[in-house]
A and B are shown apart, each in its own frame.
Chain A
Amino acid sequence: MEMLEAKLEALMLNKAFEELGAKERAYVLEHITEVAYTNYHFILTNTVDAFGRDEIDLVPNPNIAETLRERFDAKFLPAKTPLFSNILQLQTLYRSVAVLAVIAIISSFFIVNKISEKINTQKQENKIAQGTAIGTTEKLDKVEKSYPSSATAKIKRNVRIAKVKNEKDAMGNETNVLLGLQVYEPLLCLDIDIKEEIPCLNDETLVN
């Protein structure tokens, strides 16, 4: 099978037979005759030249790009929302501006939210301060502020303290010693019936 070897082709494309060196001639004549080489050289060089001049002003039809765009979007953007696809279709500059605008909107939302939270806290603190000022002139530190101590609350607390004291007196120290319990402080503010909590206190045999 006759083939166009790379070296032979390169020579045919670049040199006429007369321009070949001795080694090149020898190589050529191993494959084809001088006449054949001359003819092929003529055809090849003129063909390449003709093809080169064939670079006519063919321009792709602009409608092709539009059709391709539609098909591309139909394939790759079906799941995306119209807003998102619109953003994707924007030019890079406009897309960047759009992204920055979105970031600005989100940040401003957070800032406004933070400011309104601060205002609300301030209002709350003012309300608490006004509430604790009723019937007392003493200044409360920050921990105490959260415990409202109105006149009614004070009375209720005193009643509960008295109740706990009575309970303690009624039990007497013996019971505590007997049960191995030592009550150092009355359970202030806790409305606990100790006898109910510790049922064995009702058992008189234990006391005796």
Chain B
Amino acid sequence: MLKFLSKRYAVCSDEELMAYLVKGNHKAFEEVYKRYAPYMLRFFYRHLYQDNDKAQDFLQDLFLKVIEKAESYHSDKAFKIWLYSIASNMCKNEYRRNEIRGSKVNDFDFSLIMDDSIAFNSQDKFDRNLFNQMLTQELKAMDGVQSLTFALRYHDHLSVKEISEIMECAEGTVKSRLFYTIKKLTTKLDIFNPYKEIQ
């Protein structure tokens, strides 16, 4: 009945929501969280060794940073870019920490794939799952910035320009990283390539 009294945040742009958020409007923050939390959770899950607990922790930290740094956001930059910049920096820091610790990526779990293939009894399912697992494994083994760039482009479907803003580098650098990653993946995953005989 009194719906006209409430603002319709769902139709607001990200930038408008941020303007409300800075003024202390919690509804605007809720809307931002609702829009981006699922994407960012998957982003962290993918880039942080497919560890759900870690991804959840990083998701919380990311939005805490949004609250704390809300005033430093300027609407001349797209909110999505700003958010991904924070998230990618968090990932880079985590990679650095892991390098210092000397921790390894998780071992490849073949039993999981074998179970799936038996359960579904489908060759196609097996290949796809295996491909997915090996792709994840190879991306993990790569330099963090390379795999991050690759995932931003082909998983989050961001443009090269957006990625260059997020990664704070030239568009040419992004294109170069993408090319390099594709080339490397082609070599590493050639067991799946039905055309490899013709090489």
Contact = CB atoms under 8 A, between A and B. Distances in A.
A199 B68 CA distance: 85
B179 A3 contact: yes
A153 interface: no
B38 A58 contact: yes
B107 to A, nearest CB: 20
Nearest to B4: A96
B132 A50 contact: yes
B132 A53 contact: yes
Interface string A30-66: 0000010011101110111111011110111100110
Contact of A44 (B37, B128, B172, B182): B182
Interface stretch (B59-67, B80-88, B89-97, B111-119): B59-67
B176 A58 contact: no
Nearest to A79: B24
A60 B59 contact: yes
Interface of B is mostly: helix
A71 interface: yes
Interface in B111-146: 128, 131-132, 135
Contacts of B158: none
B186 A40 contact: yes
A4 B193 contact: no
A144 interface: no
Contacts of A59: 38, 41
Contact-residue bracket for chain A: 35 or more
A72 interface: yes
Contacts of B73: none
B154 A47 contact: yes
A117 interface: no
A68 B64 contact: yes
A155 B193 CA distance: 129
Given A9-B178, A42-B195, A61-B56, A75 B160 contact: no
Nearest to A40: B182
Contacts of B104: none
Interface string A1-36: 111111001000000000000000000000000010
A3 B185 contact: no
B41 A58 contact: yes
A50 B131 contact: yes
A5 B175 contact: yes
B175 A38 contact: no
Given A51-B155, A54-B132, A68 B33 contact: yes
B60 A64 contact: yes
B11 interface: no
B154 A69 contact: no
A59 B148 CA distance: 22
Contacts of B63: 64, 68
Nearest to B180: A2
A17 to B, nearest CB: 9
Contacts of B1: 93
Contact of B2 (A67, A73, A96): A96
12 contacts: A1-B176, A2-B180, A38-B195, A39-B193, A43-B193, A44-B154, A51-B151, A54-B155, A64-B63, A68-B67, A71-B64, A96-B6
Given A4-B176, A54-B132, A59-B41, 17 more contacts: A2-B176, A2-B179, A3-B172, A5-B175, A40-B186, A49-B128, A50-B128, A50-B131, A54-B46, A56-B42, A58-B42, A60-B41, A64-B59, A65-B33, A68-B67, A72-B29, A76-B24
Interface of A: 1-6, 9, 35, 38-40, 42-44, 46-51, 53-56, 58-61, 64-65, 67-69, 71-73, 75-77, 88, 92-93, 96-97
